[in-house]
Amino acid sequence: MADTPTPVDLCRDLIRFDTTNHGNGNAAGERAAAEYVAGHLTAAGLDPVLLERSPGRSNVLTRIPGANPHLPAILAHAHLDVVPADPADWTVPPFAGELRDGRLYGRGATDMKDVCAMLLTVAHRWAASNTRPQRDIVLAFVADEEDRGIDGAEWLVDKHPDLFEGVAAAISETGGYTHHVNGTHLYPVATAERGTAHLRLTARGRAGHGSRPNTDNAVTHLVHTLARIADHPWPVRLTPTVRAYLERTGKALGIPVDLTDDAGVDATIAALGEAGMIAATTVRASSTPTVLDAGYKVNVIPSTATAQIDVRTLPGIEDEVLATIDELLGPDITREFVAHQTPVEAPIDSDWFDAMAAALRAEDPDAVVVPYCMGGGTDAKAFTKLGIDCFGFAPLLLPPDYDYRVQAHGVDEHIPVDALEFGTRVLSHFLQK
């Protein structure tokens, strides 16, 4: 098929759809982008469906039949929405999809319209070459990942679980891209994600005049509690994923690894340098005060004061973390969830992981593939509820001067054109497993 589109063509077009998600239901809407995606899936001989919980918040799903229907299926999911971009901060228009010096600029270039484009390209190329995968492949292009997923993955899992029947493993963003460390091509593949517990703390006390002593001041209670939480020394808790990452990365780089105690783990992370930073936020839980709200007049002591804290947990220790938070609160403070997503972890030694590693090495023979834990979260937390093993696998071969970590949600977000072609080939290898 001579006119089969390239991944850069598709990514450029997708960037030009403004699918900004401001949160709390305030979004530009994914429908136009979803209709574009559905059109390309149809052109590739597939039968996509568009599903919406809210008007304009479209999800696109299709299933590519495999040669062996008895094999477990794979889900490849990507989100169509993006975070806001202020044009005043950018040197290029964030929704123009400009090409400069072999790089494609625009909001969503790495998060994650690049993966949308690569999956569409795979579908087109398979259609052109009459390629059929061994197993069913479910493709899902979803809404609302950049907020709570209630118009996207969470809703699909709750209301349309039948669309994922037979799926055993899923791949999506934030993993499988190059880290150049001491001449080594390190490719961390996400097999776990920290959990999110956004908590609202409420302190109660006795209202009064600001000029008079008050030992039951809600603001004081809250401030002291926040200081305890912020200063709490969370201990190291190595999950199987993080332990494997440190051990295997240390071996690949020829750096001794000591995981016997907290001091040894911290020293190992420091010795691994840039590679250690990948694991630095995932060896411990964290608790960060982020929002304060109290009072309405400077000479009035309020009866209540509230704060929000961003707590991140690890697989296997969520109950322990929340119990510790409760101990730090004290008798005058209560807590409630603002948002809550439990941590997730897939097997680190599995045929799925081995197939991802093999697909990467097929295109980059120097690839060293290791598991790692994401510090944040993705739609994997929704799909895990269906018993699906979820992985962060969005392969890209990146040049040494390219800092992937500052791209997502950053100013002048961009991606090398060559990386899109590499990722398309790797995804095609893996999805034909």
Angstrom CA distances, 416 to 125, 286, 421, stand at 21, 34, 9
| pLDDT tens-digit profile, the chain (433 residues) | 447 899 999 999 999 999 999 999 999 889 999 999 999 999 999 999 999 999 999 999 999 999 998 999 999 999 999 999 999 999 999 999 999 999 999 999 999 999 999 999 999 999 999 999 999 999 999 999 999 999 999 999 999 999 999 999 999 999 999 999 999 999 999 999 999 999 999 999 999 999 999 999 999 999 999 999 999 999 999 999 999 999 999 999 999 999 999 999 999 999 999 999 999 999 999 999 999 999 999 999 999 999 999 999 999 999 999 999 999 998 889 999 999 999 999 999 999 999 999 999 999 999 999 999 998 889 999 999 999 999 999 999 999 999 998 999 999 999 999 999 999 999 999 999 8
Q: Give the number of other CB atoms < 10 A from CB of residue 380.
A: 26
| Contact by Cβ (8 Å): 56, 139 | no
Q: In whole angstroms, give the CA distance from residue 85 to residue 123.
A: 30
Rounded Cα distance, 123 and 145, in Å: 23
Q: Which SS3 state, helix, strand or coil, does residue 423 take?
A: helix
User: Which whole-number Å values give the CA distances from 26 to 35, 55, 57, 144, 339, in the listed order?
Assistant: 20, 12, 11, 10, 18
DSSP per-residue codes, 176-235: SB-EEETTEEEEEEEEEE-EEEEEEEEEE---EETTS--SS-HHHHHHHHHHHHHH--PP
Distance of CA 290 to the CA centre of its chain: 21
Q: Is 211 exposed, middle or buried (0-12, 13-18, 19+ CB in 10 A)?
A: exposed
Look up the pTM and report it: 0.93
In eight-state DSSP terms, residue 410 is: S
CB 348 within 8 A of CB 360: no
Q: How many CB atoms lie within 10 A of CB 412?
A: 18
- Taking the C-alpha atoms of 157, 114, 339 and 225 in order, what is their torsion angle to the nearest 10 degrees? 150
Residue 77: enclosing H or E segment and its boundaries? strand 73-79
